[in-house]
Structure 1
Amino acid sequence: MSTEILTIARLGSGGDGIADTPGGPVYVPFTLPGETVAVARVKNHGTVVSMSSASPERVEPPCAHFGPDGRNGTCGGCTLQHAGDALYHDFKRSLVVQALKSKGLTPEVAPLVVARPGERRRVVFTARKTEKGMLVGFNQAGSHHIVSIDHCPISSEGILSRLEAIRRVAAAIATSAEPFRVTVLETLAGLDLAFEGVKKVGDRERRAVTETVLALRAGINRVSSDGEILIEPQKPEIEFSGLRVSPPAGGFTQATKPAEEAMAELVLTALGKAKRVADLFAGAGTFALRIARQAKVHAVEGDEKALKALDHAARNTQGLKPVSVERRDLFRRPLMASELKAYDAVVFDPPRAGAEDQCKELARSGVKTIVAVSCNPISLARDLAILTAAGYRIRLVTPIDQFLWSAHVEAVAVLDK
């Protein structure tokens, strides 16, 4: 290990500051462009020892768990609380711009749709039973150490106000000192707790969870373990612009409602007067159910439980256009160009890996309007390059912040032909 003085040139794609040296780039967490720092260096990674020149863009982090000097431990959930809004927003937008540019794409990229503190309705905690009690929090960056939290500026008040209830249920289900995860979703009438990785949950744990939830009287709608529902005092529901849906236990939902609504508005505006729309990777109906207010929808999704939730909501909501559903693994069996020709427009919202094979079929289909929703600018750029090579024009790309103070960014791209 060596100590040296470095000047930070830029932010890397993960949010770390990068200093250029004769031996290559050195990544220094919690630094900003223009700062001069003394670092303890190990290979291409530096840890700040002291700072002689701070950026005017540096701000006081709002969370006591943030940064190497976090007063209550260094939580790994956020990477950029020390960056002022202007720098942070430019960084998020640039992730999309640079990913597109790497594929030779230079479309219009709108300003970032920003995220605000307290918006996160879905949070994933790590938990572990110890001799001193139940730890529930976030892992320290690059470590298995769990930083127990009592507050979190990104999370909704509905989650923060029930942290003790979450700890009590976690303690009831824990079978060993091994760590496990709990995804907490704030629904319309309480929390949905989905545990993953709890080993050998038996009758004793099931009884303990049931007794704990009933003793809490209210606030916990459902508890599941690796998809198995242990107790469900009230079916959890969320709203898609007024349309109520009960998501499957542990199923995917967008992390914040404002980001979801921003994406949905972009999708609906882009579809215009399309009369028949295919929604691919439809999940539990984030877009399909909204689209059904103005067009016929064919929703395609590989997850059976999510598709059932979508179908149930569509069948029990008045005033929608016809909604058909199809369970299909779009990675192994994408909709073919011949099938896609039946639609005026297509929306696709795949996992991080993107939709490469599906885009190859879309490229051959001639569908007039395509809306791509993505949580990964790299795979989005690859997919858009496939479509533009076939003659599609990118009308607009809009970056959307959903994971505040992180290096993750969403985007919605609108294409036509």
Structure 2
Amino acid sequence: MRERELEVSSLGHRGDGIAVTEDGQIYVAGALPGETVLADVVNGRAKNPHWQTTSPDRIEPVCRHYEKCGGCALQHLSEAPYLAWKRSLVEKSLSDRGIDFAVQDVVAATVDGRRRAVFTATRAGRHTLLGYHEKSSHRLVDVHECPVLDPDIVRALPGLRSLAAQLLPKKGELRLTVLSTTAGLDVAIEKADKTYERKIPSLSQKTVELDLARLTVNGEILLETRPPLLDMGGVGIVASPGGFTQATRSAEVALSKLVLEGIGKTKSVADLFSGVGTFALRLARVANVHAVEGDAAAISAFDKALRKPQGLKKVTFEKRDLYRRPLVAHELEPFDAVVFDPPRAGAQAQAEQLANSKVKKVVAVSCNPATLARDLRILIDSGFVLQTVTPVDQFAYSPHIEVVAVLTRE
């Protein structure tokens, strides 16, 4: 196999460099626009690349695990072109749907602000490995630092590794979801050895030693030393073990600010795919809110938070699968504005109902620009007009980007 010289001209949506050749696009992992590499090419990907020239935008990665770890994609790219690339991901998704619109500058992430992390643990001989999988591999990187995580989680890594060692099955991997809360770390472990019940006394002791707020194993709360609270705009929420929350506090604040600005002055809002109430509880300080969510645990957490006086306006909620049963046009009539923040699959069915409704204002939040663009196309075709599209970089150094889009119609 003969090496080929490849000139990288752009970045792909996963952060790989792209070289355009007579044979089509070739992806070069770790390469930046303006760089030239010599590499073998197999199935459209460069193998064993050797750099001939490097970009002035290339910087030194901030983590010693970066070369192997699959958690980050672009620590080697300086900030300005990195943020421009993230913005371009949103622009391309809109363009692919025929939406020509000026996207706002990216709201940058807090680098060490990731308060939620999902680790994998496994055995390697007598040792326990805890970390993330390697790039394009099932092998595990034993992580001892992580610059994107909340420092409290990084400090806890040795203790978490020790905890995992007590619960590992004889074969296979263990998953640990760690959440930094105002009361300390909340740890939820899945796929633990089925005999863990015999170890409850030692696990409880370990929980106290590590000063964890709560330890959950295979869905069972073993010990809660204090409620693991999250501050949702001044309202305390105890999220379900391992449940979804916005990954960084700074991004949650930025997203919430954009949502509140987007609805403006309004009396009644529907918050769809509301989760534990990230937006609903903030919206309820300025408007009556009806929150709709399909996850029972999230609704339960939301319900418990509402039981304490909070100085909020009227708040109602319902458990409902919005993929199967979106709010239809007549159910949307009471609302002046609608906010929706679906999973990565987007909200196509709900967007179609909004298109047929009399709702005048929609704020769409998404972690997937492609499905967001699809849903925006539906709304635009029904008469909605885009007012703003703002990317929020919640996941530093990764290909993921959050977006808030505001639409209105007469």
Query: Partner residue of 2:335?
Result: 343
Could you tell me which residue of structure 1 aligns to residue 143 of structure 2? 149
CA distance in structure 1 between the aligned counterparts of 2:181 and 2:114, rounded to whole angstroms = 12
TM-score (norm 1): 0.95
Q: Does 1:374 pair with 2:400?
A: no
What is the deviation of 1:130?
Answer: 3.0
Name the counterpart of 1:198. Answer: 192
Match of 1:258 among 246, 250, 256: 250
Equivalent pair of 1:352/1:376 in contact (CA under 8 Å): yes
User: Aligned AA for 1:30?
Assistant: G
Amino acid at match of 1:25: Q
Q: CA deviation at 1:201?
A: 4.7
CA drift of 1:228 comes to 2.5
Residue 15 of structure 1: aligned partner: 15
Letter of the structure 1 residue corresponding to residue 86 of structure 2: K
1:35-57 C-alpha deviation (Å, 9 max, x unpaired): 00012322211134311110111
Q: What are the equivalent positions in structure 2 for 1:7-406 lying under 5 Å apart?
A: 7-67=7-67, 74-216=68-210, 218=211, 220-406=212-398
Q: Structure 1 regions of 5+ residues with no counterpart?
A: 68-73
Over residues 141-160 of structure 1, what are the superposed CA-to-partner deviations in whole Å (9 max), with x where a residue is unaligned? 11111111111111111111
Q: 2:21, 2:367 → 1: CA distance?
A: 32
AA aligned to 1:23 is D
Structure 2: distance between partners of 1:206 and 1:383: 48
- One-letter amino acid matched to 1:347: V
Alignment-mate amino acid for residue 49 of structure 1 = P
Residues of 2 paired with 1:386 and 1:201: CA distance? 51
User: How far is 1:131 from its partner?
Assistant: 2.4
SS of 1:365's equivalent? coil
Q: Which residue does the alignment assign to 1:70?
A: none
Q: Which amino acid aligns with 2:14?
A: G
Distance of 1:47 and 1:212 partners within structure 2: 45
2:266 counterpart letter in structure 1: A
Q: Deviations over 1:382-406 (max 9, x none)?
A: 0000000000001000001011001
Per-residue displacement from partner, 1:229-284 (whole Å, max 9, x unpaired)?
A: 22222221011122211001111000101111000001111111111110000000
Give me the whole-angstrom Cα distance separating, in 1, the residues matched to 2:193 and 2:378: 43
Counterpart residue identity of residue 226, structure 2: Q
**Unpaired segments ≥5 residues, structure 2:** none
State the secondary structure of the residue aligned to 1:8: strand
Q: Which amino acid aligns with 1:108?
A: A
Quote the offset at 1:2 in angstroms: 4.5
Once the two structures are TM-superposed, the CA of residue 199 in structure 1 deviates from its matched residue by: 4.7
Q: Partners in 1 of 2:354 and 2:26 — Cα distance? A: 41
**Fraction of identical pairs, as percent:** 47
Task: Kindly state the Cα deviation for residue 137 of structure 1 after the two structures are TM-superposed.
Answer: 0.8
Q: What is the distance in 1 between the residues matched to 2:116 and 2:232?
A: 15
SS of corresponding position for 1:353: coil
Q: CA deviation at 1:413?
A: 0.3
Structure 1 vs Structure 2 CA RMSD? 1.3
If the length of structure 2 is used for normalisation, what is the TM-score? 0.97
User: Number of residue pairs matched?
Assistant: 409
Change (3 A) 1:376 1:201: farther
Is the contact made by 1:174 and 1:205 (CA closer than 8 Å) also made in structure 2?
no
CA distance in structure 1 between the aligned counterparts of 2:392 and 2:139, rounded to whole angstroms: 31
